[in-house]
Homo-oligomer: A and B are copies of this chain.
Amino acid sequence: MPSAMARVADVVEQHPSAPLELTITELAEQARTSAATVTRFCRLIGFDGYTQFRVRVASEIGRASAESESPPAPRPRRDLAPDDPPEVLRQTLLETLVRALENTAQALDLEAIESAATEVIGAEHLDIYGVGDSGIMANALQSRLYRIGINAHSWTAVHDGLASAALSGRGSVAIGISNTGHTADTVHMLAEAAASGAFTIALTHDARSPIAKVADVTLATAAYVPGLRPDDLSVKHSQMFVIDLLYLLVAQHDFDAATARLSATSRAVAARRRPRRHGTPRPYRGIQEIR
């Protein structure tokens, strides 16, 4: 986030009720910036302007105070600290991840993911690019899609990926995965695929990053996050959530065929299993929630 706007964010974070008491000009002074920047800040985080932002803040504060009066004391948001005992670590991690998933679900552009799913369904050829950690995600997506009959390939090395991208054409679809959206290799592969005529989909945290610029459709894996770092644990969960949903939308398209194929792969894998100790394996029943 640009620094002047970040200062506004800081002030709001420090004094959540500031927007209620201050005019836009006063708030701007607090943040050592101009009213114009405050307006821009409100826009950036999704409001029409300062007034709407203020209304929302007021409503949140009302909500928070109502909740704080009722028993379940909301623990303050905590960072992970090096000397946390395991119980705290577990709880903090859980809360962080749950919040990340909720944010991701909230921010996800359903139209974008639907159109991505439509393209994937109609694809004659599907490449998935990702390097490093995102390469692992690329593999996960590939293996999942493959199992429901989508002829996907995942490429985690730039040379191989570029070769495949060059072979793309009309009817091809390419998905590039990059947390930061700045990973040169991935951007390169996706751009090459686009140049060859493929429909391109970017999966990234930053909807304004280079990879988003070369993509026809961008799936943001979370709302804007300042200071993203490569080891952020929640990032993977967010990415996987988007991948899950994409997979479900694709599988939905031809539900019966997808479950039949899953059943077949399941049987094939079962032969490599040690027998169960009790009960008989249940018949495959389709894409459902586990209990």
Contact = CB atoms under 8 A, between A and B. Distances in A.
Interface of A: 1-3, 20, 54-56, 58-67, 70, 77-80, 82-84, 86-87, 89-94, 96-98, 100-102, 105, 108, 110, 113-114, 131-133, 136, 139-140, 143-144, 147, 180, 182-185, 187, 208-210, 225-237, 240-241, 244-245, 247-249, 252, 255, 262, 265-266, 269, 272-279, 282, 284-291
Give the number of times this chain occurs in the complex, counting copies.
2
A140 B234 contact: no
B66 A62 contact: yes
A18 to B, nearest CB: 12
Given A183-B274, A235-B290, 6 more contacts: A56-B58, A82-B286, A89-B245, A90-B110, A185-B272, A232-B289
A89 B105 CA distance: 11
B227 A233 contact: no
B288 A80 contact: yes
A66 B84 CA distance: 31
A237 to B, nearest CB: 6
